[in-house]
Amino acid sequence: MTMSLSTEVRMIKGVGPQRAELLAQRGIYTLEDLFGYLPFRYEDRIRFSKVKEIQPNGTYTIRARVMSGQAVRTMRGRDAIYHLLVQDDTGQLPCKFFHGGYLEGRLKPGQDLVLHGKVEVDRLRPARLEMINPQIETLSGEEIDSTEVGRIVPIYEAIGTFGSRAIRRAMYAAVQQVDLNMPDVLPEALRARLGFPSRGEAIIHTHFPTPEESLDALNTFRSPAQQRLIFEEFYLYQLSLALDRRAARKQNAITFRVREDAVREALKRILPFKPTMAQKRVLGEIVADLEKPLPMNRLLQGDVGSGKTIIALQGAVIAIENGTQAALMAPTEILAVQHFLSARRILSRAGYRVELLISGLKGSEKAAALERIRSGEAQLVIGTHALIEDNVEFARLGFVAIDEQHRFGVLQRKRLMDKAASHGHAPHVLVLTATPIPRTLSLTLYGDLDVSVLDELPPGRTPIVTRITSEPHLSGVWEFLRREAVAGYQGYIVYPVIEESKLELKAAMEEYERLSRDVYPKLKLGLLHGRLSSEEKDDVMQRFRSNEVQILVATTVVEVGVDVPNATVMVIEHAERFGLAQLHQLRGRIGRGARKSHCILVAPSRMTDEARARLETMVRTSNGFEIAETDLQLRGPGEFFGTRQAGNLGFHIANPLRDRELLELARREAFALVDDSAQRQALEDTLRALPGQWQQRYHLARVG
């Protein structure tokens, strides 16, 4: 029976209802989905080794005959170790199968087998080698027709109890029964020019490579079939970004007047310090966008403390001076409140009206705030996700800033933009991030945005001293922090969890009690974590800003949005548990004043190599872009591609770090296709050829 790509996986031989449920947990429902579940490596099981050639710790495929087999029960009697002895024309090889009772009676002397597995030294008889838990294939005659041997074999990550071997057999059955002569999502002219195989050929040869294929190429994702699928994923996503940009350029935006004296004076009036050259350059790039009748869509990258917020406030002032409202959306209430307090301090003296809108407001306060936003009385509105709720109406929204964009999804950004679209124009959008993103990832995550970079810190900042220490030296750390507090300065102590857990990690609540009682009985400590109400968080932060609280014990809720120049010490316990980006953000809470600041990373003396590399990177550099590059090398790009950041990109095989050349090529081809009116028909044909789930995955369910 010939199946289609939309056939449910339960119909494939070897799957059935139970395994279909396991696959569904991975989002695999149809054969189209199944073909997207790709091998993570390959093994060469074509070339047979002789018994006399094998060496300890090697993995081999051998062809041999059964000499004897016996199951030996364990002491508990519920299981058995199966001992198998095989022989080829060069010698004999013992094999051992743990939990191998099922083999008893199935393997007969004289039977021909192909075995594939790792060879180890027999612990009881060190002079003897044995193969441990090999995969076996029984042979009939001379022909080998199998998914397991006689070919380059794909290795899949198990899905629950659905192991690699069973997945491989189900995949082979699917390939045999499906008509892979399918419509191709890549235009024929493009495939011919780039030398790519058809989509059907690429699927077959990625799952079941030909014997001539290079094993090294396969395991480094450089085979022609893999390269075509990698390009396809990049191309489709870049096509969606190109369509987004094309659609945005067809929208109308309000052309702001910036070079008039009144606006220039307003911008000078709100500046709390002399701008850096980088800030002047970036503001110039933003002004050039705001003076056009097209909506600005710009990403502003800047390290911790580089002045992104003041740039956003300058953009808001330009919008207000042009008779429109501005909005700034932040991912957490703490960050939103921090921005609100800063903006009110900077803007209110110039007569601008700043409004805060967060979920934690009381009912009457929220209703009054919504009315001021609707009437236009509120000129700059700062808030969290509350800004995109249906009941929020702006009088005339002209400028939108979104802070820490990587914590939002693309749809949330669009919902805020739609608040302006209801008035017949698109807003100018400035996306802010303090998580520096290497250019390759920037192209993928924010390919529809222009990019500005603040690569200069304001003068007067003293470099932060960062060092690693361990639990036995904590008494010295606490004494150092006490001396700073007595001298009038403040500090943070950060823990990875709120309450005690089975992970055996110190917790903020318990440590706050212990430190207050046993270590700092004469100092004022505060506790800040995500479970506190908005009022409680505001109260703690206000007391910390005014130095009523000298030491703030917290979780990573202080990662962003806390700006207290008087804080000079950051102690991070279980620092090995934090990612590099988190550590860099936490460290950015100090070093904001003139006094020398210290970041102390507390970690066990024994930790993983990756954890040690992270901490040593923190000691070596404070450059956010260098840290981001190192983070990318250590972790790969996966963390940048969660649904929080950019929707479900659906990358099954593409890796922007490993495949950056293909990413650049796919971007050029996709953007050229969208911009070339002569290829408009080809574009429409391409989109119509996509299965429904591809259109949904890449947000391509429209021709822009």
- 3-state secondary structure at position 113: strand
Q: Residues 124-140: pLDDT tens digits?
A: 888 899 999 998 877 76
Within 10 Å of residue 216's Cβ, how many Cβ atoms? 10
* Residues ≥6 apart with Cβ < 8 Å to 485: 491, 520, 523, 550, 551
Q: Are residues 473 and 588 part of one domain?
A: yes
Residue 289 domain-assigned? yes
Average pLDDT, the chain: 85
Residue whose token pair is 């506190």: 532
Looking at the predicted structure, is the pLDDT value of residue 646 above 60? Answer: no
Q: Are residues 482 and 439 part of one domain?
A: no
Q: Are residues 692 and 590 part of one domain?
A: no
pLDDT for the residue numbered 272: 72
Q: Are residues 121 and 103 part of one domain?
A: yes
Question: Comparing C-alpha atoms, which of 123, 128, 125, 92 is closest to residue 115?
Answer: 92
- The Cα–Cα gap between 344 and 342 comes to 6
CB 641, CB 649: distance < 8 Å: yes
Torsion of CA 97, 100, 105, 111, to 10 degrees: -30
Q: Are residues 96 and 118 part of one domain?
A: yes
Residue 681 domain-assigned? yes
Give me the mean pLDDT over the 403-427 stretch.
72
pLDDT for the residue numbered 222: 94
pLDDT for the residue numbered 593: 80
Domain containing residue 171: CATH number: 1.10.150
Within 10 Å of residue 287's Cβ, how many Cβ atoms? 18
Give me the mean pLDDT over the 298-302 stretch.
88
Q: Are residues 142 and 195 part of one domain?
A: no
**Most confident among 68-82, 117-131, 329-343 (mean pLDDT):** 117-131
Q: Are residues 223 and 291 part of one domain?
A: no
- The Cα–Cα gap between 34 and 677 comes to 36
Q: Are residues 414 and 478 part of one domain?
A: no
Give me the mean pLDDT over the 2-10 stretch.
84
pLDDT bin (cut points 50, 70, 90) of residue 286 is very high
pLDDT for the residue numbered 645: 37
Looking at the predicted structure, is the pLDDT value of residue 581 above 60? Answer: yes
pLDDT for the residue numbered 335: 82
Looking at the predicted structure, is the pLDDT value of residue 340 above 50? Answer: yes
Angle at 633 between CA 330 and CA 203, to 5 degrees: 95
Domain containing residue 92: CATH number: 2.40.50.140
pLDDT for the residue numbered 438: 67
pLDDT for the residue numbered 463: 82
Domain containing residue 590: CATH number: 3.40.50.300
pLDDT bin (cut points 50, 70, 90) of residue 337 is confident
Q: 0.85 exceeded by the pTM?
A: no
Q: What are phi and psi of 414, to 5 degrees?
A: -65, -35
Amino acid (one-letter) located at 113: L
Q: Structurally, how many domains does the chain consist of? A: 5
pLDDT for the residue numbered 642: 39
Looking at the predicted structure, is the pLDDT value of residue 418 above 60? Answer: yes
* Residues ≥6 apart with Cβ < 8 Å to 58: 118, 119
Residue 628 domain-assigned? no
Q: Are residues 396 and 334 part of one domain?
A: yes
Q: Are residues 140 and 99 part of one domain?
A: yes
Q: Are residues 484 and 419 part of one domain?
A: no
Residue 256 domain-assigned? no
Looking at the predicted structure, is the pLDDT value of residue 267 above 90? Answer: no
CB 412, CB 385: distance < 8 Å: yes
- Residue 195 burial by CB count (10 A; 0-12/13-18/19+): exposed, middle or buried? exposed
Report the share of the chain in percent with pLDDT over 90: 41
- The Cα–Cα gap between 342 and 364 comes to 24
Looking at the predicted structure, is the pLDDT value of residue 550 above 60? Answer: yes
H or E segment and range at residue 454: strand 450-454
H or E segment and range at residue 693: helix 692-697
H or E segment and range at residue 494: strand 490-494
Tokens of 515: 């430190």
- The Cα–Cα gap between 287 and 318 comes to 9
Q: Residues 348-400: pLDDT tens digits?
A: 888 999 999 998 888 899 999 999 999 999 999 999 989 989 899 999 999 99
pLDDT for the residue numbered 84: 95
Q: Domain boundary at 593, 621, 649, which?
A: 621
Within 10 Å of residue 405's Cβ, how many Cβ atoms? 27
> Does 660 or 304 have the greater pLDDT score?
660
Q: Residues 564-575: pLDDT tens digits?
A: 889 999 999 999
* Residues ≥6 apart with Cβ < 8 Å to 684: 703
pLDDT bin (cut points 50, 70, 90) of residue 316 is very high
Question: Comparing C-alpha atoms, which of 242, 247, 245 is closest to residue 686?
Answer: 242
Q: Alpha carbon 641 to chain centroid distance?
A: 4
Residue 81 domain-assigned? yes
The number of C-alpha atoms within 13 Å of 175 and in the hemisphere containing its C-beta is 20
Length of the chain: 704
pLDDT bin (cut points 50, 70, 90) of residue 48 is confident
Largest pairwise CA distance in the chain = 98
Question: Comparing C-alpha atoms, which of 406, 442, 430, 446 is closest to residue 282?
Answer: 430
pLDDT bin (cut points 50, 70, 90) of residue 648 is very low
Q: Domain boundary at 424, 454, 484, which?
A: 454
Q: Are residues 165 and 22 part of one domain?
A: yes
pLDDT for the residue numbered 641: 46
pLDDT for the residue numbered 500: 65
Strands 598-602 and 525-528: unpaired
Please give the residue range of the domain that contains residue 169: 1-43+158-179
pLDDT bin (cut points 50, 70, 90) of residue 406 is low
Q: Domain boundary at 133, 150, 167, which?
A: 150
- The Cα–Cα gap between 131 and 111 comes to 18
Residue 630 domain-assigned? no
Q: Residues 492-544: pLDDT tens digits?
A: 999 988 766 655 567 889 999 999 999 999 999 999 987 888 788 888 988 99
Give me the mean pLDDT over the 227-232 stretch.
94
Give me the mean pLDDT over the 212-233 stretch.
93
Residue 384 domain-assigned? yes
* Residues ≥6 apart with Cβ < 8 Å to 329: 383, 384, 385, 387, 388, 400, 401, 402, 403, 408, 416
- 3-state secondary structure at position 290: helix
Within 10 Å of residue 182's Cβ, how many Cβ atoms? 16
pLDDT for the residue numbered 643: 33
Residue 206 domain-assigned? no
